[in-house]
Amino acid sequence: MARRPSHQRRRKVVYTVCLWYQILMQYAVHIMNCCTNEHTDDEDDEPIPRTLPYGALVYRSGFIVNTRRTNDVNCLSMLRMRRRIFWNLVDLFKSEGGLSRTTNMEVDEMVAMFLFTIGHNTKNRTCQVLFHRSAETVSRTIKKVLLSILNLQALLIAQPVPVPENCDNHKWKYFKDCLGAIDGTYVSVRTTTASQARYRNRKGVTTINILGVCNQNLQFVHCLAGWEGSAHDSRVLRDALSRPNGFRVPTGKYYLCDAGYTNARGFLAPYRGQRYHLQEWGVNRPRTAEEYFNMKHSKARNVIECAFGILKIRWAMLRDTSWYSPRMVGLFFTACCLLHNFIRTQGGADIFEMAYIPPLVEEQGAVEAIDELPSYV
């Protein structure tokens, strides 16, 4: 058998030597980090392991080690949540989500890879460079974590609670037995030339139409993603109500909705032909009973706008055009809603929620509040 040319043999030898050199350097850096035993300010952080797990010699990034030792500001910038919430999420995946470590990858790295992808709307090749993984590994890991989040839907989805009669909240005390608010939103997607007409909305952008339902605490109760951007909001709602295990409204309860939906049983819409949106009022007070009702209705229904605003400013995949298919974008939106509920249950408002929580929302509106965020978001 003919021997390989000399220049090819030299190239192979140089590549092998460089690869082993990088592996040894990663191994040395990890050993030094484990022996340093630096103290962190957060007492809830897990202790840094003293021994390397099986397969740690495989070429990997120190991203997770830096996440353990960094502060909450950097963790919010990279993973879109605080360190304590991130490690609680990792524990949830291990115990309830059915996500387990592989030979060469731990669960925390899987979750961090998924959060970084949806938080910054990055391509596969960007994760390859940051986490030092192959394209197939990155794609398989993201789909695996996505499936695990969707399996936690029964645990992470919020339950609607009606407004009690003795409610003292200035927004909801006028709407007894109200469960929350519903509305639709658009997310930009990439489609083929043949299907662009179906996904083009009224503004001429190829999007998918998503129905979102949230309670008074900005937690999502139901989400239906996947309809084309040309579909009307009422059509998406009818589809959600017609499904066997779809959206249900208990008898005697209702949700607040805008004028795009029908004022029917279970859904309370505002008066048409009257001022409604918060920016339309200004310093002018309502002159009629209909305008007064619309003003109170708008302040309470604005909770769904705040929820959508927090969701899109936290996860860049939802506010920018993604590189995934429309079907995958719909699944990612549902996963982001579940992660949003988990972050809300952990307590403590971060920089993303502070931009949309009143009184800033009532003064400027959810759309204009995005300008108050720092540059790194």
pLDDT 10s digits, 68-106: 666 788 888 889 999 999 999 999 999 999 999 988 888
Q: Centre a 10 Å sphere on the Cβ of residue 115 and count the other Cβ atoms it contains.
A: 20
* Residue 173: burial class (beta carbons within 10 Å; 0-12, 13-18, 19+): middle
Rounded to whole angstroms, the Cα distance separating 80 from 92 reads 17
Q: What confidence score (pLDDT) does residue 179 get?
A: 96
Cα separations in angstroms, 66 against 62, 63, 87, 92: 6, 5, 14, 21
pLDDT of residue 58: 40
pLDDT at 52: 40
Position 143 scores a pLDDT of 95
pLDDT of residue 31: 74
Residue 274, pLDDT score? 84
Query: Alpha-carbon torsion 43, 48, 50, 51, what sign?
Result: positive
The rounded distance, in Å, linking the Cα atoms of 17 and 24 is: 11
Q: How far apart are CA 120 and CA 62, in angstroms?
A: 19
Positions of E strands within the chain = 178-188, 207-214, 220-228, 254-256, 267-268
- pLDDT given for residue 351 in this prediction: 82
Dist CA 173 CA 207 (whole Å): 36
List, for the chain, all residue ranges whose pLDDT scores fall below the cut of 70. 1-8, 11, 14-15, 19, 29-30, 32-70, 278-283, 355-377
Q: What is the pLDDT of residue 42?
A: 46
Q: Chain-centre distance of CA 33, in angstroms?
A: 32
The residue behind tokens 């310093």 is 283
- Whether residue 216 contacts residue 172, with contact meaning beta carbons closer than 8 Å, is answered with yes
User: Residue 20's pLDDT is what?
Assistant: 74
**Predicted pLDDT at 359:** 42
Contact 342, 92 (CB under 8 A): yes
pLDDT at 301: 93
The token pair that represents 289 in the structure block: 């009973």
Tokens for 152? 């936690």
Length of the chain: 377
CA-atom Rg of the chain in angstroms: 24
